[in-house]
Chain A
């Protein structure tokens, strides 16, 4: 039992690390299709990461050790987050961090990334860090409120318990969850540097948020940062599945056949989610940075509305 649990845990971490660039490639491909461009191959992120690993790292003269360890910390944090989120089954590490601690883990990654961006002291790096922290401090409470609504329904902040409670609910649809799903989508877009908050494909430094922080990185450090960003998107998608599409998870007691069902379920969900993100990104334009607080305030408001709806209707 113990051995299978650890094996499942490792399998799921490995799956997340391996699948994350594919998911990113899928989103990019869908976006290209929707925008009537010829699509890059879905494997492109893997190739980019491989190419970066082969290159020699160039560091700025003044870069401190903090700058060099940050990619590893960010990557490690994202892998641990992937180990905690029940994407296919409930895992032994699920208990080590509940949804609130998960938000904390994401914050740790963000703070390290921002500090690293300020380390060299370039103009773009520091303003990237400032903007990232601005997006972060507005998105984090919104995400916490989303989790709170789900926790109020299931009486727990542990993600596996939440998914299980929501998957086996008596009620078909919770009205409060509809509001929070909107809020969560907005937070997902903002936290993962997608349009309308940030543009992952931009080459204009003045409008960058996430990319501005990575400008001084190269080679393996950049590869790790890019991979961590892909993992973050994957993790957010999985949190979304745990909260809003909780079906198809293999619970701890179920055997290998449940897991065999969980893998295609996850892939199907990812395919739909990727398409959804691409549709949103195609239909919206990038906001000015000054408008981002309003966007995130809307997310926060939706989450709070969800909570009020839950309190009023009890559902």
Chain B
């Protein structure tokens, strides 16, 4: 098939199809680890790389559409690739390449679902995420969205013999479907009376303000459920630990971003002209989620739950960026709206790399030690140096430290917030800059969380004897993680180039391409008329030079002598691993400072206990306040429904008979008039 580089959509589709085929091939030999691991997953990684490359070519090309006659007879799939879809496709492809490489070495026999079947679900998941990004009618979108949810559900419950994992999967399934129903209703409103469900028709439809607001609210609920915004975040900390690590990486790193994509698509593309005040909702919910997520991440003792809460935080920040963009767009400050959108998309891409990397790192640790509990890990830097050093890159990136990538998007977001005092709406112009304080607090807390995560797992003394047998991961796993770490570094060191690309994308979406400020290539200048710039490469080079000069000078002038001895610890000789700070201990300041957020249950030992026990559990208040009553309500309604459903055939026959009578009556009533 000749590939036309000016129209990369067919090539994208072919690659997505290739993913589906690779998945199907897994079914040929479902129990062969070698076939799935050594052949299919690496192939999937290559397809991912190809997709990223093809979509990157498409970034600068005009939008293109295609109609595929698959599905129901009168409902063909409309597909469209534009710049926004291309950015997210690049992200999907690039992140999937690293994750698939890792997965090639990760899956083993005897861990739940057979590897061939896992390979099928995994690649179907990838393909459906690709289709979500390309869908151009509500029907195709919902089919892709639902297959994405289903495929990931089966991946989450791959170890379905464990009851907690089944429960986690069920919770994920329920929340995903609440979201899906909301989206379905949203598209129902968006068609605006034309009863045409292509996105083109929705773009053309002009909605009444009330209907538009309703559509926006429904979209926000639907996508918010997928993104894990508070209060719909409860499934994330359950599903991520339950899923195998590459799947967690894919869900957290890529799938959550489809929600940001969808929100941008519906708000700016399908609805067209959002009202500025809508933006306040995603802004408030986003900031709330960011704060809530990071505070809860700080007190977790399970490494994957910690990362799941950290995802809640990061998605919250991305939605805050989207909200800010809507506000700016609505009041006509287009250049700043573009800046906020760039910040949101940049954060999504960054998060795809760094969070996937961290989840893969936990996978490597899990395989080496069999432990997810932070209280039983420690000192792995010496046993698993490859994993530890690569994960360090991800940790520094997600903690928002320059010169890595996490900092760039937070910097852009803060810059956007800084100019929100110029929004020409009273009161809002005072409130918005204060929101920057929340962003700053979340960024700083993320640093706290990540020091805890890295310090407790990889540094210090091993907390269990079994950790001495931990081994580093294999070369495929290292390669996958290295690829993602390289992405984190590149996205951090060349922000000007990334922002230039994202500027075109956001500009195209918002209908205004901002002028490119004149600046040297190594310097990021987001807004031409403001004196704010950031050039990580410059100060990284200076820092490296200073470090090298210092080391050389110290060596030349003094000496390099080193002696090894026991740790000093202020002269205490009998140091052991249990004297280190634990994960609970590291979370203690946060527990104290933000006490009202948590539902804390303590079990303290008595001085006279023969076997003293100390246990503290930290729960989510939202679960008790919202979900438990909701669950009880649903149960009560179900009990009411049970009155009708007695299980006796005679009753059911009576129902049928009565229905028939009613229908006949209706026909008779309406008949003579027609």
Which residues of A are in contact with B by a Cβ distance under 8 Å? 53-54, 56-64, 66, 72-73, 75-77, 79-80, 83-84, 93, 95-98, 100-101, 104-105, 107-108, 110-111, 114-115, 118-127, 129-131, 133-134, 136-138, 140-141, 144-145, 148, 151-152, 155-158, 161, 205, 215-216, 220, 224, 290, 293, 300, 304, 307-308, 311-312
Contacts and interface: CB of A to CB of B under 8 A. Distances in A.
Nearest to A135: B589
Given A95-B535, A123-B569, A148-B433, A136 B564 contact: no
B447 A133 contact: yes
Contacts of B447: 107, 110-111, 133, 136-137, 140
Contacts of B628: none
27 contacts: A58-B563, A60-B564, A93-B538, A96-B542, A100-B414, A101-B402, A101-B407, A101-B534, A104-B400, A107-B444, A110-B447, A111-B450, A118-B455, A118-B580, A119-B460, A121-B459, A121-B577, A122-B568, A126-B580, A137-B448, A144-B414, A144-B440, A205-B570, A224-B554, A293-B589, A293-B592, A311-B429
Nearest to B427: A311
B561 A215 contact: no
B96 interface: no
Contacts of A93: 538-539, 542
A77 B531 contact: no
B558 interface: yes
A99 to B, nearest CB: 9
Contacts of A304: 434, 437
A157 B563 contact: no
> Mostly helix, strand, loop or mixed at chain A's interface?
helix
Nearest to A141: B440
B223 interface: no
Interface string B434-450: 10110011011101101
A143 B543 CA distance: 23
Interface string B515-558: 00000000100000011111110110011101100110010011
A180 to B, nearest CB: 13
Given A111-B396, A122-B579, A215-B570, A134 B448 contact: yes
Given A126-B455, A137-B447, A311 B550 contact: no
* Those 10 A-B pairs whose CB atoms lie nearest each other, nearest first: A121-B460, A126-B581, A118-B455, A121-B461, A141-B440, A60-B567, A140-B444, A96-B538, A96-B535, A76-B547
B411 interface: yes
Nearest to B534: A101
A57 B563 contact: yes
Interface in B295-335: none
Contact of A98 (B396, B533, B561, B581): B533
A287 to B, nearest CB: 14
Interface string B162-182: 000000000000000000000
B448 to A, nearest CB: 5
Given A79-B546, A118-B459, A215-B570, A53 B523 contact: no
Contacts of A84: 539
B542 A61 contact: no
B378 A121 contact: yes
A105 B402 contact: yes
Contacts of B569: 122-125, 215-216
B298 to A, nearest CB: 9
Given A84-B539, A158-B532, A158-B533, A72 B550 contact: yes
A129 B454 CA distance: 12
Given A96-B535, A216-B569, 8 more contacts: A64-B381, A96-B536, A101-B402, A115-B454, A115-B459, A123-B580, A157-B532, A311-B430
A88 B454 CA distance: 39
Contacts of A125: 569
B415 A157 contact: yes
A130 B585 CA distance: 9
B645 interface: no
B401 interface: yes
Contacts of B454: 115
Nearest to A71: B550
Contacts of B444: 107, 136-138, 140-141
Given A98-B533, A101-B402, A158-B532, A57 B451 contact: no
Interface string B477-500: 000000000000000000000000
B387 to A, nearest CB: 13
A63 B585 CA distance: 22
A84 B407 CA distance: 17
Interface residues of B, number: 81
Residue among A60, A124, A126 having the largest count of chain B Cβ atoms under 10 Å: A126
- Identify the interface centre among B392, B396, B562: most chain A CB within 10 Å of its CB: B562
A66 B395 CA distance: 14
B586 interface: yes
A293 B593 contact: yes
B535 A148 contact: no
Nearest to A156: B531
B382 interface: yes
Contacts of A156: 530-532
A108 B407 CA distance: 11
B663 interface: no
A77 B461 CA distance: 28
Nearest to B555: A220
Contacts of A129: 451, 455, 581
A186 B580 CA distance: 31
Contacts of A138: 444
Contact of A111 (B451, B460, B566, B572): B451
A118 B534 CA distance: 31
B369 interface: no
A293 B441 CA distance: 13
Nearest to A57: B562
Interface in B633-667: none
Contacts of B532: 98, 156-158
Nearest to A74: B547
B194 interface: no
A157 B418 contact: yes
Contacts of B559: 56
B575 interface: yes
Contacts of B565: 58-61
B399 interface: yes
A137 B445 contact: yes
A220 B436 contact: no
B581 A60 contact: no
B568 A216 contact: yes
A137 B399 CA distance: 11
B401 A140 contact: no
A76 B460 contact: no
Contact of B381 (A66, A79, A97, A123): A66
B567 A97 contact: no
A96 B430 CA distance: 30
A118 B567 contact: no
B401 A61 contact: no
Given A56-B561, A58-B565, A105-B402, A118 B460 contact: yes
A14 to B, nearest CB: 11
A183 B430 CA distance: 20
Contacts of A105: 402, 539
B434 A96 contact: no
Contact of B543 (A56, A76, A121, A136): A76
A253 to B, nearest CB: 16
A98 B531 CA distance: 9
A290 B418 CA distance: 32
Given A101-B407, A148-B436, A155-B530, A53 B563 contact: no
Specify which of A84, A111, A300 lies most central, judged by the most chain B CB atoms within 10 Å of its CB.
A111
A123 B534 contact: no
Contacts of B551: 72
B421 interface: yes
Contacts of B459: 64, 66, 115, 118-119, 121
Nearest to A293: B593
